[in-house]
Structure 1
Amino acid sequence: MACFGGFSRATPLELYARSLPKGNQRAGSRDAAATLFPMYTVPLKEILQMTVMEPHESLKERGELISFEKGMGNAAFISHQWVGDKSPDPDFRQMSVLQDAIRRLMSTQKRIYHDIHTEMFLNTSGMCTSALNSKPLFFWYDYFSCPQLDKNHDFQQAVVSIPGYIARCEFFFALVPVIENPGLCKVFTPSSWSERGWKLRLLLEAQDLVGYRVLLNLQPVLLRGMMVQLPNFLLQNGFETVFDVDTAGWSPLHYAALRGEVLLMQGLLEQHADPCQVTKRANPSHGGMAGAGALDLCLRHRNNEAARLLLAAKAAGDGRWELISACMGDNAEGVRLLCQSRCDPLGKDPLDTSAVSIACMFGSATAFEELSAQAGQALATSTLAESLHAAAVFQGGAQIVQALIDLRADINEPREVKAMRPFGLVVSWHWLLYSLGRVTPLTTLCYHLQGSTPLMAAILSGRYECAAILIAAGARQDLCNRQGWSVSDLARNQAIPEFLIQALLGQPRGCHVVASFALRGGSAEQNS
C-alpha cells in the first residue's frame, strides 16, 4: 500500500492528512474555540520556589499566573491525583517530588528514559533534557490554573478547555508518587492513575497514520457494538486491498483484530487475508513487538469471539505467543480458549519467560487466577518465585503480589538468570552497557539483577507499593545481590517514600499501613 516514505501514489487518507494544517498553522478562531477559559500557567521559577499549595485565586491575586500563548515558550501539563480531601496535596508531598525531579532534569540529568518495560521491549532511547531548557517553561496544574473557591461558570469553562490545554502543551508530566493518606484510608500509586488518550485529528495532523489506525480501531474495544463494513474499513484506514501492509508492517487484518468485529474479520478472511501473517516490526503506537499475529491482538484486547474465528481458521502457531498475549490483556476467557486448544498453561515464550510470570508482570490478576487453576498442582515453587520477581519489577499489583505470597512464593529467593538463555543474553547485554557508562533504568536493573531478592527488584524499579507489601510480609533487608549491594544500598540512590525510609531504619509500621490500604483497593479517582 502507499504509505509515507513508501510508494509514490498516495491514498485518499494520506492526501487528507497532508492537507490538514499543523498545530502552529491553525487559524486563531479555531484555537480560541478550543479553550474557553485562559490557559493560566505558573512559570518554572515560581514552581521551584513554592512551599505550600495555594489555589488559583490566591496566585492570580498576587500576579503569579501567566496566561500562556504560543510563542512565549513551552508549556507542560501536569497530570496527578488529589491525595487530600480539600486540597490536591495538603502536605506538599507530591509537589516536592516534582520540584526535585525538575531540578535534577535541569542540572545533572542528560536524558529522560522510558520505564523499564518500554525500554526493554520497544528499544527506545528516551528524550534529551535539553528540550526542557530550550525555551521558557510554564506549568499547567489544575489547582493553580482553574478557579477553585467557586465552582462557577469560569470553572466549568476551564474544565471543558482541558483538551485544548493539552494540545497546546509541549510536555505532559504524570506526577504519581506513592502517597498514603491514613485519614482517607487510601494509598495513591501509579496504578491508580490512568493517562489520557490523544485525538484522532491530532494524529492525522502529524501524519502519524500508524498511531491514527491504532486509536481508530481500538475505539470499538471501549464502545462495543460499533460495526463497520469492509469497504468503509479499508477506506477509513487508508488501505486499498486486504493484502496491503503499512509502514509499521501491519495489514488490514491486524487493525481489524483491534476492533474485534467478527463479521469484518470474516469478510477479510473470505477475501483471502492470511490469518497467520505476523507484524514486521514493533509498533510504539500500540506497544506491540514485531511478530504479532491477528490472534495475538484479539486475545490481548479480549476480542474473544474474533479469536474463536481465527482459531477455526487455523491461525494459532504453537500457542506460546498467543498465551502471552492473553496474559498481557488479563484475558481469562482467552486463556481458557487456548488451554482448550491444548495450549500448555505452564508454557514459556521464546525468551524463556513463563506465561504465569507474564501475567504477574502486567498485573493481570484474572489471567493469573485462570492459569493457576489450569496448572493446578503442577505450578512449581520456582515459577512462583520467578513470578514474584516479575511482579516486583514491572506492573504487578498489590493483589497479585499478595496472592503469590499466599501461594508460598519465597519472598527472599535470589534471582538467578542463566546467562546463555535468551533472557540471560538480554540481561548480559544491558549489564555490559551499564558497565560502559550507559546508566538507564533498564541497564541499572540488569546490572543488579543477579542475586537480587524481590524486595531489591521492587526498590530498583520504583515499585514502592510492592516493596511495602514485601516488607509487611517479612522480607529480609540484610541480604546482598551479586554486586554486594543490600536493599539500603539500592535505596540510597533514590528518593524513596517516608514509609520505606522508616522501614529501612527498623520501623516497618508505615509499610504495614500502606500494604493494608493497597490490598483493600484504597485508591482515588484522578483529577487531572
Structure 2
Amino acid sequence: MSCCRRAARTPLARHAAILAAEDDGRDGAAPMHFPMYTIPADVLLEMTEIKPHEELMAMSLLTAFDGTQGKAGLVSHQWAAMHHPDPEMKQMRVFQDALRHLLKDKGMVPLDCITETFLTSAKAIALTAFQSEPLFLWYDYFSVPQDRDSHDQAKAIQSIPAYVAACSFFFALVPYIEDQPLSPLSWSHRGWCRLERVVREISADHTWILIKSSTSLEVVGTAASFPIGQVGEGDFTVPADAERLGPVIRGVVFHKLRSCLKARDFPGYRRHLNLQSVYFKNLPVEPLQDFVPGFDDLELGSSAASPRELAVARFMHQNGFRSVREVDGAGWTPIHYAALSGNAELVVGLLQQRAALDRRTSKGEPKLGVPPLVSALELALAYRQHDSTRALIEARAQLRGALYPAMQIAALADNPEGIRMLCAAGADPVGRNLFGFTALDSAFILAGVAAREELLRQMDFEASLLSCVLLTAMLYRGGTAEAVQRLVGLRADIDFQFSAPAVSPFGAVLAIMSLQHRLGRVTAQTEQFYHYRGMTPLMAAVFSSQYEGAAALIAAGAKLELRNCRGFSAADFAKRRSLPDFLEQGLLGDRLACQRVTTLALATGTGGIVQCTV
C-alpha cells in the first residue's frame, strides 16, 4: 500500500461536493416572497413629498425590479417620526443632493480610512458605476406595504435579504439632523437598520456607502469601520418587531452556509456556522444544527462518550476537521472557531485534546474586521463571548496580543465584561499598541460607552493621554457631544494639537503616508496622515464630518484660529464640505447655534427619539 495515499475526504467535503453537483435552482440566494418595488432615480429626484407605497402604486410610479431594467440600490435610513420616515424631507433632501452628485459628476466615492487600512483589496467606486445604467431605489416606505397587519408586508420583510442581494449598491443615509437628533451613531443602534446592514455584510457584495452629507460619502468594506451590534440588541419602538426579524436572520445564515459549501469556501462556512450565537442573540430562533449529515452514524456519537467528548466530536464533524491542531486554508485552527461559538465546554474539550491554546491565526478576515495573528482569546473578546473568554483565561491564555493587545480588542468590541476579566487576570488597562494608541482610544473610536467607562473605572488616565483620545474620537466614529463633555470633564485639552516623534513607529507611518499623498496617491487615509501633525479635535471633527462633535467643541470654546502643520484651520477643512447651518455659523465665531445643538444632543442622547418598522 502506498504511503502517499490521499486521506479520505471529510463528511463536510463530501456534503459540499453533493451540494455543488445539485442543480436545484437554489444557488444560495434567499427567496423573494414579494416583488421588489423600486422607484426610478429620476422620479425620486423630483420628489417634494414622501408618499407611502400604496399611494405610489396608485400613481404608477413604482417599478417591480427584476434586474433587467438597470441597477438597484437599497437605502437604509432612520425613521424621524412614529408614522412617517421623514415628514420634513430633511434626510431625503440630503440623499437627493448626494444622488445628483453620483449621477452627474466625475470622480470616485472614496474608501473610509478604516476600510483602507483593514481591507487592502477594497476599491473606491467610480461615479461612472452609478451612471452606466438606469438606477432604481428601494426605500422601505416606498417599497413595502405600510399596513402592519398585511400579509404582503410580512412577505416583503421576509424578502429583505433577497432585495439586498439584488442591489448593486447599499446606501446608509445617516446625515446629522440636529432637532431629532439623528446621526450615524443613532442609525447604528436601530434594530431595522442593523438587519439591513447585517444582511449586506453577510452577502457576496458586502460593501456599502455611508452618506453623512451631500458631499461626504465613503465606501465601507469592513465591520471594523463602524460600531458593532446585533439585530436583537438593537432599538425597537415595537418590541415585537425583533421577533419578526429572527426568522429573517436565520434564513440569511442558512443560505450563506449553503452558498459557502457549494463554493467549497470552508473557512467562510466555519465562521458563519460558529457565529450563530452572535447573529441570533436576543432573537427567538434556534441555531442551525447538524448542517452536515451523518454524525449519528459515527462511533463517537454513542452513549459511551462523555458529553464533552461528544460536543468535540460533533464540532469536528460539522466543521470538517480531522485534528484539533489542523490549520485550514484561512490559517485558523479548531480552537479559533470554537472561541467564536462561545461554547466554553467545547473550548475546554478541545484543550483537553491538546489544542494549541495560544496559537495565532496566520491570516486575518478583514471583512469581519479581524486582523491576522489573533488568538482564540482575542476572537472571544471581539465577539463578546464571555463563557469562552472565561474558559480561555482560566486555561492561562496569553494576555498580550501581537498587533493589538487583548485589552484593545475588548475595547473596540465595547466589551466591559471582557475588560473586567482581563484586568482581574493582570492585564494592563492602558493596552497600548505598537503605534502608541491605547485601549481607551479604541473605546472612543467606535463610541463604545460601556467599554470606556469600565476602563476609566480601572485606572486614572493622564490628561495628555485623554487629550489625544479626544482627537482620535473626533477623527473616526466617536464624535458625539457626550464624548466631548466626558473627556473635557476629565481634563482633556480641547485645543490639543497632535505631535509624534519622527523616530517612532507612528512617526514613520506619518512620513510614509504623507509622502504618498504628496506624490499623488490621494485617498481619505493619505489625506488624514498628511494633515495629522498639529491637528486639533475640532479640525478632526470637521475633517471626518462628525458635526455633532464639532458643534460640542465650538460650544465648549475651542479655538478657531489654530492651524495644523499644513497651515489649515478648521474652517479650511470645511471649504470642500457641505456643513449644516449651525456649524457654518460656529466656524465664523457665532457659537450660539452650536450651543443650542449641543444642549439638545446631550438631552436626547445619540439614540434618537423613535424607531419605526417598515
Q: TM-score, normalised by structure 2?
A: 0.76
**TM superposition shift of 1:134:** 4.1
CA RMSD of aligned residues (A): 3.0
- Give the whole-Å Cα distance in 1 for the aligned partners of 2:551 and 2:483: 14
- Give the whole-Å Cα distance in 2 for the aligned partners of 1:52 and 1:139: 16
**TM superposition shift of 1:148:** 3.8
Cα pair distance change 1:16/1:190, threshold 3 Å: farther
Alignment counterpart, residue 182 of structure 2, candidates 162, 177, 188: 188
Checking the alignment, whether the CA contact within 8 Å between 1:323 and 1:355 is kept in structure 2 is yes
Tell me, what secondary structure is at the counterpart of 1:174? strand
Q: TM-score, normalised by structure 1?
A: 0.88
Checking the alignment, whether the CA contact within 8 Å between 2:443 and 2:452 is kept in structure 1 is yes
Alignment counterpart, residue 102 of structure 1, candidates 73, 80, 99: 99
Look up the match of 2:405. Answer: 321
**TM superposition shift of 1:21:** 7.5
Matched, 1:525 2:611: yes
Q: What is the aligned-residue identity percentage?
A: 41
Look up the match of 1:4. Answer: none
Alignment counterpart, residue 394 of structure 1, candidates 476, 494, 500: 476
- Give the whole-Å Cα distance in 1 for the aligned partners of 2:138 and 2:13: 34
Look up the match of 1:306. Answer: 388
Checking the alignment, whether the CA contact within 8 Å between 1:112 and 1:126 is kept in structure 2 is no
**TM superposition shift of 1:487:** 1.0
Checking the alignment, whether the CA contact within 8 Å between 1:434 and 1:443 is kept in structure 2 is yes
- Give the whole-Å Cα distance in 2 for the aligned partners of 1:348 and 1:27: 48
Checking the alignment, whether the CA contact within 8 Å between 2:351 and 2:357 is kept in structure 1 is yes
Cα pair distance change 1:337/1:154, threshold 3 Å: closer
Tell me, what secondary structure is at the counterpart of 1:173? strand
Look up the match of 2:539. Answer: 456
Look up the match of 1:55. Answer: 52
Checking the alignment, whether the CA contact within 8 Å between 2:420 and 2:454 is kept in structure 1 is yes
Look up the match of 1:217. Answer: 274
Alignment counterpart, residue 428 of structure 1, candidates 511, 514, 537: 511
Look up the match of 2:68. Answer: 71
Structure 1 unaligned blocks of 5 or more:
1-6
Alignment counterpart, residue 318 of structure 2, candidates 236, 252, 267: 236
Residue identity matched to 2:152: D
Query: How many residue pairs get matched?
Result: 513
Checking the alignment, whether the CA contact within 8 Å between 1:83 and 1:179 is kept in structure 2 is no
**TM superposition shift of 1:150:** 8.3
- Give the whole-Å Cα distance in 1 for the aligned partners of 2:18 and 2:109: 33
- Give the whole-Å Cα distance in 2 for the aligned partners of 1:35 and 1:134: 26
Checking the alignment, whether the CA contact within 8 Å between 1:348 and 1:355 is kept in structure 2 is yes
**TM superposition shift of 1:274:** 0.7
Tell me, what secondary structure is at the counterpart of 2:368? coil
- Give the whole-Å Cα distance in 2 for the aligned partners of 1:142 and 1:489: 38
Cα pair distance change 1:492/1:273, threshold 3 Å: same
**TM superposition shift of 1:284:** 2.0
Any residues of structure 2 matched to 1:350-429 within 5 Å, and which? 350-376=434-460, 379-396=461-478, 398=480, 399-429=482-512
Checking the alignment, whether the CA contact within 8 Å between 2:83 and 2:612 is kept in structure 1 is no
Range that drifts further, 351-360 or 447-456: 351-360
Alignment counterpart, residue 40 of structure 1, candidates 33, 37, 42: 37
Alignment counterpart, residue 80 of structure 1, candidates 77, 81, 84: 77
Residue identity matched to 1:46: V
* Offset from partner CA, 1:160-205 (integer Å, 9 cap, x none): 3323322322322111111123xxxx31111112333232213542
Checking the alignment, whether the CA contact within 8 Å between 1:210 and 1:285 is kept in structure 2 is no
* Offset from partner CA, 1:424-466 (integer Å, 9 cap, x none): 2223322222222222222221121111110111111122222
Range that drifts further, 158-167 or 490-499: 158-167
Checking the alignment, whether the CA contact within 8 Å between 1:111 and 1:127 is kept in structure 2 is yes
- Give the whole-Å Cα distance in 2 for the aligned partners of 1:459 and 1:45: 31
Checking the alignment, whether the CA contact within 8 Å between 2:38 and 2:62 is kept in structure 1 is yes
Cα pair distance change 1:505/1:397, threshold 3 Å: closer
Cα pair distance change 1:159/1:90, threshold 3 Å: same
Any residues of structure 2 matched to 1:255-266 within 5 Å, and which? 255-266=337-348
Look up the match of 2:353. Answer: 271
Look up the match of 1:143. Answer: 141
Structure 2 unaligned blocks of 5 or more:
1-5, 189-193, 200-251, 290-309
Matched, 1:280 2:362: yes
**TM superposition shift of 1:506:** 3.4
